[in-house]
């Protein structure tokens, strides 16, 4: 019995709760994983998993055994990678899960430079809008804005993800430009379905904060579909500036309710705690954190152009006097015609 192979198999099954996924990660067959786990159970004289046709879960003994075994596997993996580094360059497959908004247009050149620096590390990249637990899917690192609720994960913040509401100039010319968050109720909205708050949105202007529910004409987990929805004149949507920045700079999209900011998210590098000593993971996380530290270039460009970018003249403000309060009110009509902006 090779004790390390058996412990390694146990740790992978415990992390993924799947014999098949553990086998895929270790490049062996599921029957080999099953055999190694059974040998380990016989050696420690205790069942490590509860098995059923529907699920695999750790037994009490397995839970107690897992933490130390995970440390052992992490130490050995790190030691082996360091030996390979001493002899030459770090090697191995680095499995990444990346958000499309970041992968398409921003990450390519960084990955090229990383591969040039570490040519023996093979990058296996999955591009997906769906937030995942990297342990469950066998990823070494996931670059996403939501961290799953799991104590076995470590996160590193890369940069703020700023979001803005925007639409095409043609849509705004036809239906008018909303200035206040409450105005958005009267428009066709495309909203991202994977945000934890879903339809609840918070807007900030200075010390003031507005929180409200917004109905969606279209809801999807793809920011690129929402971008195309807005570009085609379908309505107003909320997009990360890393996705819509170039379109705002070229005036293909125009910000609305621009006196308000939406609290930013953060792009995170998320990886299993058991991988924290893996050299390839350390190298990649340090590289990507350094590469994208500070204010994102797309936000810097928008800030530099903010005073130059023209607004679409679609509203007419009329100052009126309230008879009851005697205060000046601003009566804005966000439409230029009688058409319902939801049509």
Q: How far apart are CA 128 and CA 103, in angstroms?
A: 9
Nearest to 290 by CA among 308, 313, 269: 269
Domain-located, residue 337: no
Domain-located, residue 58: yes
Domain-located, residue 318: no
Q: Which domain holds residue 95?
A: 89-158+265-306
Domain shared by 233 and 272, yes or no: no
Q: What is the pLDDT along the chain (343 residues), one digit of tens a residue?
A: 788 899 999 999 998 888 988 898 888 998 999 999 999 999 989 899 988 878 888 988 888 888 889 888 888 877 777 776 655 567 888 999 998 888 887 888 899 999 999 998 999 999 988 778 887 788 899 998 887 776 778 889 999 999 999 999 999 999 999 999 999 999 999 999 877 666 789 999 988 999 999 999 999 988 999 999 999 999 999 999 989 999 999 999 999 999 999 999 899 999 988 776 778 888 999 999 999 887 787 888 787 776 565 554 444 333 333 333 444 344 444 444 445 566 5
Report the CATH number that the domain containing residue 29 is assigned in CATH.
1.10.10.10
The whole-number pLDDT of residue 315 equals 44
Domain-located, residue 2: yes
Domain shared by 220 and 300, yes or no: no
Per the structure, how many domains does the chain have? 3
| Token digits of residue 19 | 């014999």
The whole-number pLDDT of residue 198 equals 66
The whole-number pLDDT of residue 106 equals 85
Domain-located, residue 323: no
Q: How far apart are CA 217 and CA 234, in angstroms?
A: 10
The whole-number pLDDT of residue 141 equals 93
Domain shared by 153 and 272, yes or no: yes
| Token digits of residue 70 | 């995970």
Report the CATH number that the domain containing residue 96 is assigned in CATH.
3.40.190.10
Domain-located, residue 221: yes
243 CB-contact burial (10 Å; exposed 0-12 / middle 13-18 / buried 19+): buried
The whole-number pLDDT of residue 148 equals 74
Pairing of β 92-98 and β 121-127: parallel
Q: Which long-range contacts (CB under 8 A, 24 or more apart) does 332-337 make?
A: 332/179, 332/180, 333/176, 334/175, 334/176, 334/177, 334/178, 334/179, 334/183, 334/186, 335/175, 335/176, 335/186, 336/173, 336/174, 336/175, 336/176, 337/174
Domain shared by 72 and 49, yes or no: yes
**CB contact at 8 A, 158 and 301:** no
DSSP 45: T
Q: At what angle do helices 30-44 and 19-26 cross, to 10 degrees?
A: 110
Pairing of β 254-255 and β 121-127: unpaired
Please, what's the b/e burial string for 324-339 (b: 16 or more CB within 10 A of its CB; e: otherwise)? eeeeeeeebebbbeee
**CB contact at 8 A, 260 and 204:** yes
The whole-number pLDDT of residue 260 equals 94
| Token digits of residue 242 | 């890393």
Q: Which residues pair with 316 in a beta bridge?
A: 333
pTM attached to this predicted model: 0.65
CB neighbour list of residue 144: distance below 8 Å, 6 or more residues apart: 97, 98, 99, 131, 132, 267, 268, 270
Domain shared by 15 and 76, yes or no: yes
Domain-located, residue 248: yes
Domain-located, residue 173: yes
> Phi, psi at residue 104, to the nearest 5°?
-95, 100
Report the CATH number that the domain containing residue 226 is assigned in CATH.
3.40.190.290
The whole-number pLDDT of residue 84 equals 66
């Amino acid at each position: 019995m090779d004790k390390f192979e058996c412990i390694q198999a146990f740790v992978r099954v415990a992390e993924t709760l799947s014999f098949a996924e553990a086998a895929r990660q270790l490049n062996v067959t599921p029957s080999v994983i099953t055999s190694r786990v059974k040998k380990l159970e016989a050696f420690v004289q205790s069942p490590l998993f509860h098995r059923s046709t529907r699920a695999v879960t750790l037994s009490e003994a397995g839970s107690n055994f897992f933490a130390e075994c995970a440390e052992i596997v992490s130490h050995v993996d790190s030691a082996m990678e360091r030996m390979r580094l001493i002899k030459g360059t770090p090697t191995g497959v680095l499995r990444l899960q990346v958000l499309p908004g970041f992968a398409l247009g921003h990450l390519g050149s960084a990955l090229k430079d990383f591969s040039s620096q570490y040519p023996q590390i093979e990058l296996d990249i999955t591009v997906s809008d769906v937030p995942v637990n990297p342990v469950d899917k066998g990823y070494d690192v996931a670059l996403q804005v939501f961290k799953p609720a799991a104590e076995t994960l470590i996160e590193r913040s890369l940069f703020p993800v700023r979001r803005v509401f925007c639409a095409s100039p043609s849509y705004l010319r036809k239906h008018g430009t909303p200035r206040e968050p409450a105005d958005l109720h009267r428009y066709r909205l495309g909203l991202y379905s994977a945000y934890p708050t879903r339809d609840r949105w918070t807007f900030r202007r200075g010390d003031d904060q507005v929180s409200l529910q917004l109905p969606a004409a279209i809801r999807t987990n793809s920011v690129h579909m929402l971008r195309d929805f807005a570009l085609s004149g379908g309505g107003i949507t909320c997009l990360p500036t890393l996705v819509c920045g170039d379109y705002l700079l070229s005036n293909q999209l125009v910000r609305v309710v621009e006196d308000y900011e939406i609290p930013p998210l953060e792009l995170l590098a998320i990886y299993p705690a058991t991988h924290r000593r893996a050299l390839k993971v350390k190298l990649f996380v340090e590289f990507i954190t350094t590469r994208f530290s500070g204010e994102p270039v797309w936000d810097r460009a928008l800030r530099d152009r903010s005073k130059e970018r023209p607004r679409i003249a679609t509203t007419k403000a009329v100052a009126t006097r309230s008879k009851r309060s005697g205060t000046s009110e601003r009566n804005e009509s966000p439409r230029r015609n009688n058409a319902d902006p939801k049509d």
